[in-house]
Amino acid sequence: MPAKFKCTILGSGDTIGTPIAGCKCATCLDPKSKRYRFGLLLEIDTLKILIDPNPDLKWQCLSADLELKDIDHIFVTHHHSDHINGLGEFFFRNPKPQVLWYGDNPLNHKLIDYWKYLEAEQVLEFRTFSNFKEIKLNDDLTVLPIELSHDFPTSGFIFKYRNKKIAVVTDTNGKLKRQTIDSLKNVNVLFADTFSENQEQIKKVYTDCGISTPDLGTEWFHMTIDDVKDLKAKINAKRVYTVHMSRHMDTQENLVKKYQTDDFVIGYDSLSFDLLK
C-alpha cells in the first residue's frame, strides 16, 4: 500500500454548530456556511484515526462514506459535549480492537465513566494518554499529546508520520505554555481553533444572552483570527486550516475573501488533502 497522510475535516463548527434553529443571520441562512461540530479524520498508512467523536458523527460518516467499524483509533481532545457526545455511535462489537484514547486527569476519568459501558460490552478499548508523553502507533507514526489552555483540561495532538507533522489545536486560547509552543515548532499543518474573527464577536456571544462581558484577557478560551495568525508565526507552521468556527463569524465566502491566503485556509466541512501528494 502506498504511503498516505490524508486529512479530512469532518466538522469545522463550534459547540452548537451552524446553522442554529430560528437564527436568521446571514451565516446561518447560507448553505455554504453550514458547519458540523468539530471532527477530523486522519488516514495514515493503513490506519484510520478519528479525532473527537462529536454529536454530528453519524452525518459526517454518511458525507465521508466512512464506516465506523473501520476506525482504528479515536483521540478525544476533551470532554465538552461537542467533542465526545458522538461516542454512542460506536455500538457494535468489532473483531478488530478499536481504541479510545483520553487524557489522564481526574475530571476526564469522572466523565468517561459514563461511556465505560462501551468497554464492558467490548465495543471499544479505553486507554489514557499523558500530555507530552509520545504514543507510538506503528514504526512510522507517533502521536504527541500537548497541553492546551481551555476552561477544561484539554489536549492537542501532534501526529508525526515519516518526516511530516500535523497538529490539532482545539479548544484553546492563544496563551500556550512554552513546552506546547516548542513542541508545535515547524509543523507542516496546523488545524486551529478559530471561534471568531475578533473580540467584538466574542463580546456579542455574551451580550446576546444578556450577560455582562467578561474580561476577555483572562476568561475567554478560544482563539480569534489574529490569535491564530500569531500562533502560526510563533511556531512557524507551514499552513493553517481554521476549525471550530462559530456562527458569529461572517459567511464562508466572505471569510475566504477577507483572510484566506495560500498558507492560511478557512476550513469547511469535507475539506480533504493528502500531505504526501
Could you list the residues that contact Zn ion (CB under 5 A)? 15, 80, 82, 171
CA neighbor of 83 nearest in space, from 118, 113, 40, 53: 53
Q: How far is the CB of 55 from Zn ion (least distance, A)?
A: 11
Q: Kindly tell me which of 147 and 171 has the beta carbon lying closer to Zn ion.
A: 171
Q: How far is the CB of 238 from Zn ion (least distance, A)?
A: 25
| 3-class SS letters over 12-54 | CECCCCECCCCCCCHHHHCHHHCECECEEEEEECCEEEEECCC
Q: Kindly tell me which of 27 and 154 has the beta carbon lying closer to Zn ion.
A: 154
Q: How far is the CB of 245 from Zn ion (least distance, A)?
A: 11
Q: How far is the CB of 262 from Zn ion (least distance, A)?
A: 28
Q: Does 19 sit behind a cis peptide bond, omega within 30 degrees of 0 on the bond before it? A: yes
DSSP labels, 153-186: --EEEEEEETTEEEEEE-S--S---HHHHHHHTT
**Backbone torsions φ then ψ of 11, nearest 5 degrees:** -145, 135
Q: Kindly tell me which of 10 and 137 has the beta carbon lying closer to Zn ion.
A: 10
Q: Kindly tell me which of 5 and 157 has the beta carbon lying closer to Zn ion.
A: 157
Neighbours of 236 (CB within 10 A): 10
Residue given cell 492560511 in the structure block: 264
Q: Kindly tell me which of 37 and 165 has the beta carbon lying closer to Zn ion.
A: 37
Q: How far is the CB of 16 from Zn ion (least distance, A)?
A: 9
Q: How far is the CB of 209 from Zn ion (least distance, A)?
A: 17
Q: Kindly tell me which of 82 and 269 has the beta carbon lying closer to Zn ion.
A: 82
**Backbone torsions φ then ψ of 272, nearest 5 degrees:** -145, 140
Long-range contacts of 164-168 (CB under 8 A, 24+ apart): 164/5, 164/188, 164/275, 164/276, 165/189, 166/5, 166/7, 166/42, 166/190, 166/191, 166/275, 167/191, 167/237, 168/40, 168/51, 168/77
Burial label, 166 (beta-carbon count in 10 A; 0-12, 13-18, 19+): buried
Q: How far is the CB of 34 from Zn ion (least distance, A)?
A: 17
Q: Kindly tell me which of 19 and 55 has the beta carbon lying closer to Zn ion.
A: 55
